[in-house]
Amino acid sequence: MLRIEKLKKSYGKLPVLQDLTLHIAQGEIYGLLGPNGAGKTTTINIICNLLQADSGAIAINNQPVSEATKPLIGVAPQENLLYKTLTCEENLNFFARIYGLPAKERQKQVQACLAAVNLADRAKSPVETLSGGMQRRLNIAAALVHHPKLAILDEPTTGLDIEARYEVWELIRRLQNQGITILLTTHLLDEAERLCQRIGILKNGRILAEGSLAELRQLIPAQEIVVVQTKDEESAIARAKKNGFIHRRYGNDLAFWLPEHLELKEIISRFDGIPLDSIARQPVRLEHIYVEVTQA
Amino acid sequence: MKYWRETLAVAQRILIELLRRRRSLVFWSIFPISVLILNGFILAERAKLSMAEAFENAAPSTLVGAALFFSCLGGSVATVVAEREQQTLKRLFISPLSGTSYFLGIFVAHSCIGIGQTLLVYTVAAFWGAGFKGSLLLGGLIILLSIVSYVGVGFILGTQLARRTEDVNALVAAFGVPLLMLGGAFLPASLFPKTLLDIAKLNPIYHMNEALLGVSAGGDGLTKIASHFWFLAGFAVLMVGGGWLSYRRMLRVERRL
């Protein structure tokens, strides 16, 4: 559905994208992760034909990106880009008209989109009267009203409470079931973990790692991770080294990679003599992979 | 067809937004009516005219020199700035909407507002016995050219100079009010000293006023108002061109997510 080959883009002398290559298959949810300034927004701008790449190729549904490919894409930006005084229905109707949907189809599609984002009962409500979560869902509906083949969701749940976040996740899964290809950018790694079939980690304009979560887990030679709290971290690290455990810091947490699955008793015994305040076992998560890849 | 469809969508959206802000709608109605009544009574008293003649003379300047200025120029700037402030411009950038349709949409919406204000001003003037003496077609054309000019200027200011709503007020205060006064919107240009009149001749609002005044109150034809009409037509073309270039420039600078 989306093919990006060796894309390069610089702002003046500052390279933003360096030989960026990524392929997204039809119906896939692809998570594009990366720190601020990694090049995610520049990539989206180029996909949307708002920016020209310096070199490389980019095609959507086998068509090189141009003004003609705009109707193939639906973008839900980070901010809710909606007309606040218009109702939900009027907003969607306006965007559907811009994309050239005929009147009859437009009516149907507007109602279908409102239903899809659970806002059918708020169709006549002005946007300014909706909650943040509802506005976010309408923002996504506005991106879908013209039947795009590729939906780009830029941080779709940032700033939402957990209930609203669940609703948006559910919506994204429903979109995938309808065959829509989704490019998701997010800073919420658990979100990417839950939703994405494949994930690409972007830094300095390059994809540093890419694959399914299972494939990405191979980047960390650990079966499990234990996070320990101790007043004597130096001794704990020294003991871990002796045991063949690699240590890492995740924020303030001291963690050790366990190369094999061990019973809790066994783990505690390996730190015998070191005062441990707590010990927590975790599976290898995207957060650990992300830190490993971006801080390497 | 694409342009027409997009133009109507943009125009309808602007008008719906305006209808939702009923208070603005009421103020936009009060403004020309109050200016017309004040101008009419001042003219009747100071120029020793009958009420009908006074309101025939007051209506054109009130309409093109004051009402349309604020609704079409101020309104266009406000539309572009509001789109920028609530960031909906970004969504329009990622859509296939063309700049031409966007401009035409703003023009059509403000033409509707302008037509509404025209009807309002001339209905109130008719209440004091004023009529429209010249060709309705020519009068309509002058009003349309005035709206095109104002929307063009509004587009230039909105895309190039005004970033926030406060900028709109500052721009109107800095450039608009002096131009209106110099255009004869509040005081007939016939009362201006010669030097000021020479300067006023460079002001498009002066030509809008004089052209419509000639047709509306004097019953003049195109030949008699030719210099004003062609100045206005040239200015309208220039402003549409300027507006289009400004929009292109804005696209180059701001077309990003």
Partner-chain contact B88 A83, CB within 8 Å: yes
Q: Using a CB–CB cutoff of 8 Å, tell me whether B17 touches chain A.
A: yes
Residues listed for chain A: 296
pLDDT tens figures, A167-219: 888 888 988 888 899 999 988 898 999 999 999 999 988 999 999 999 998 88
Cross-chain CB nearest to A99 (options B17, B21, B96): B96
Q: How many CA atoms lie within 13 A of A54 on its CB side?
A: 14
For residue B231, the model assigns a pLDDT of 94
Domains (range + CATH), chain A? 2-213 (3.40.50.300), 224-294 (3.30.70)
Chain A 183-242, residues with CB within 8 Å of chain B CB atoms: none
Residue A105 CA to residue A96 CA, distance in Å, equals: 9
User: What does the pLDDT read at residue B251?
Assistant: 78
A73 touches chain B (CB under 8 A): yes
Q: Give the per-residue pLDDT at A185.
A: 92
**Buried-exposed string A106-117: b where 16+ CB fall within 10 A, e elsewhere:** beebbebbbebb
Question: Does A97 reach chain B within 8 Å, measured CB to CB?
Answer: yes
Any chain A CB within 8 A of the CB of B11? no
What is the rounded average pLDDT of the residues A111-128?
91
Whether A77 sits inside 8 A of B257 (CB atoms) is yes
CB distance B93–A83 less than 8 Å? no
Which chain B residue has the Cα nearest residue A47?
B94
- Give the pLDDT score at A212: 93
**Residue A46 binned pLDDT confidence (cut-offs 50, 70, 90):** very high
Write out chain A residues lying below 8 Å of B12, CB-based: 94
CB contact under 8 Å between A50 and B257, yes or no, is yes
* Long-range own/partner contacts, residues B191-196 (CB < 8 A, 24 or more apart): none
Interface contact B9-A70, CB threshold 8 A: no
8 Å CB contact of B257 and A126:
no
By C-alpha distance, which of B124, B115, B141 is closest to B58? B124
Task: Round to whole Å and give the CA distance between B192 and A135.
Answer: 55
Q: Given this model, what pLDDT does residue A239 score?
A: 84
User: Are A50 and B255 in contact (CB < 8 Å)?
Assistant: yes
**Which of B90, B94, B256 has the highest number of chain A CBs within 10 A, making it the mutation to test binding with A?**
B94
Q: Percent of chain A having pLDDT more than 70? A: 100
The average confidence (pLDDT) of chain A is 89
Q: If you compute the radius of gyration of chain B from its CA atoms, what whole number of angstroms results? A: 18
Query: What pLDDT, in 10s, does the model give residues B36-88?
Result: 999 999 989 988 889 999 999 999 999 988 889 888 888 888 888 888 888 88
pLDDT digits (tens, 9 = 90+) for A215-263: 998 888 888 888 888 888 888 888 888 888 888 888 888 888 888 887 8
Residue of A83, A110, A155 to mutate when probing chain B, most B C-beta within 10 A: A83
- Count of domains observed in chain B: 1
The pLDDT, as a whole number, for residue A78 is 85
Which residue of chain A comes nearest to B79, CA vs CA? A83
What is the predicted ipTM?
A: 0.83
* Domain span holding position B41: 2-254
Per-residue confidence (pLDDT) for residue A138, from 0 to 100 = 92
Read off the pLDDT band of A111 (50, 70, 90): very high
Q: Which pLDDT does position B124 carry in this prediction? A: 94
User: Beta strands of chain A (E only): which ranges?
Assistant: 2-11, 14-24, 29-33, 55-60, 63-64, 73-76, 150-154, 181-185, 198-203, 206-211, 224-230, 246-250, 253-258, 276-282
Residue B2 has what pLDDT? 85
Q: What is the pLDDT of residue B123?
A: 94
pLDDT at A93 over 90: yes
B170-to-B84, B162, B167, B173, B178 alpha-carbon distances in Å? 17, 9, 5, 5, 13
Q: Return the pLDDT at B226.
A: 94
Residue A117 contacts B, CB cutoff 8 Å: no
Of A82, A84, A99, the CB nearest to B95: A99
Flag whether residue A94 sits within 8 Å of chain B, measured between CB atoms.
yes
CB distance from A144 to chain B under 8 Å?
A: no
Q: What is the dihedral of CA B134, B138, B142, B145, to 10 degrees?
A: 170
pLDDT at B59: 93
Interfacial B residues in 113-152 facing A (CB < 8 Å):
none
- pLDDT per residue as tens digits for the range A149-160: 999 999 888 877
Round to whole Å and give the CA distance between B75 and B60: 20
Residues in chain B with CB shorter than 8 Å from the CB of A94 are 9, 12-13
Chain A residues in contact with B87 (beta carbon < 8 A): 77, 79, 81
- pTM of this structure: 0.83
Instruction: State the pLDDT at residue A243.
Output: 82
What integer pLDDT is reported at residue A83 of this predicted model? 93
For position B191, what pLDDT does the model report? 81
* Closest CB to B94 among A48, A83, A84: A48
Q: Can you tell me which residue has the tokens 């927004």?
A: A41
Inter-chain CB proximity B257 and A94 less than 8 Å: no
- Within 8 A of B93 by CB-CB distance, chain A residues are 48, 50
C-alpha pair distances (Å), A236 with each of A91, A264, A281: 59, 16, 16
- Ordered mean pLDDT values, 10 residues apiece, chain B (257 residues): 90 91 83 91 89 92 88 87 86 87 90 91 93 92 93 87 79 82 82 88 91 92 93 94 86 75
Q: Does the distance separating the beta carbons of B96 and A67 come in below 8 Å?
A: yes
Query: Is there a contact between B96 and A70 if contact means CB atoms under 8 Å apart?
Result: yes
Q: What pLDDT is recorded for position B66? A: 83
